[in-house]
Structure 1
Amino acid sequence: MPLGLGVRLITSNKHGIVALDKPAGVMSHPNTDEETKRALLQAHYDYDEEVFTWKVGDVEHRAWLINRLDSPTSGVILLALNDEINTTIKQMFSTHKVSKIYYALVKHAPAIPAGSWSDQLKKNVYRGKKLIKGGQLIPAKTRYQVIKTPTGGFPVALLRLMPLTGRTHQLRVQCQNHRHPVVGDRTYGSFSFNKEVAMETGERRMMLHSGETSMRYAFKGQMHEFKAVSELPEAFATVMRFRPGLHAGKAPVPMASKAPSGRSALEGRRFRR
Structure 2
Amino acid sequence: MSDENQVRQFTVAADDDGVRLDRWFKRHLPQVGFATISRWVRTGQVRIDGKRAGVDERLSAGQVVRVPPGGAPAPRRAPPELSAEDRETAAEMVIRTTSSAIVLNKPPGLATQGGTGTRQHVDRLLDAFVDGEVPRPRLVHRLDKDTSGVLLIARTPGSAAFFSKRFSGRSARKVYWALVVGVPQVAEGTIDAPLAKQPGTGGEKMHIDKAGGQPARTRYRVVDRAGNRAAWLELEPLTGRTHQLRVHCAALGHPIVGDGKYGGQDAFLTGSISRKMHLHARRLIIDAPEGAKIDVTADLPEHFAASMEQLGFDLGASSAEPVSFSPPPRTAAAKKQAAKAHAKQVRKTRPARRSRGDARKASPRGGRT
Same fold (TM over 0.5): yes
Q: Look up the match of 2:217.
A: 141
Residue 295 of structure 2, aligned match among 210, 227, 230 = 227
User: Aligned in 2, Cα 1:109/1:82: closer, same or farther, shift over 3 Å?
Assistant: same
Query: Closer, same or farther in 2 for the Cα pair 1:118/1:56, shift >3 Å?
Result: closer
1:69 and 2:69 aligned: no
In structure 2, the partner of 1:201 is 272
> Which whole-Å CA distance do the structure 1 matches of 2:264 and 2:166 have between them?
34
Query: In structure 2, do the counterparts of structure 1 residues 223 and 5 end up closer, same or farther at CA, with 3 Å as the change threshold?
Result: closer
Q: Counterpart of 2:122 in structure 1: which amino acid?
A: L
1:208-243: CA deviations, max 9, x gaps?
0000011134x3xx6321112102334234334547
Higher relative contact order (CA 8 A, sep 6+): 1
Cα pair distance change 1:149/1:124, threshold 3 Å: closer
For the residues of structure 2 that align with 1:207 and 1:54, how far apart are their CA atoms? 28
Q: In the aligned structure 2, how far is the partner of 1:63 from the partner of 1:208?
A: 26
Letter in 1 for 2:221: Q
CA distances 1:179-228 after superposition (whole Å, capped 9, x unpaired): 0100001210232452x44xx216121000000011134x3xx6321112
Secondary structure of 1:167's counterpart equals: coil
Instruction: Report the counterpart of residue 353 of structure 2 in structure 1.
Output: none
1:21 and 2:133 matched: no
Structure 2 CA distance for partners of 1:61 and 1:110, relative to 1, 3 Å: same
Cα distance in 2 for partners of 1:215, 1:55 equals 22
Number of the residue aligned with 2:68: none
Structural RMSD (CA): 2.8
Equivalents in 1 of 2:111, 2:134: separation in Å?
23
Contact 2:123/2:139 (<8 A) preserved: no
The counterpart of 1:116, out of the listed 190, 201, 220, is 190
Distance 2:130 2:156 in 1: 17
* Residue matched to 1:267: none
2 CA distance for matches of 1:191 and 1:80?
Answer: 39
Q: Which runs of 5+ in 2 are unaligned?
A: 1-85, 200-206, 312-369
CA distance in 2, matches of 1:82, 1:5: 18
SS in 2 for 1:188: helix
TM-score relative to the length of structure 2: 0.53
TM-score when scaled to structure 1?
0.70
Matched residue pairs, number? 217
In structure 2, the CA distance between the partners of 1:118 and 1:86, relative to structure 1 (3 Å rule), is same
Give the Cα–Cα distance (whole angstroms) in 2 for the partners of residues 210 and 56 of structure 1. 26
Identify the match of residue 121 of structure 2 among 35, 39, 42. 39
Q: Normalized per residue, which structure has more helix?
A: 2
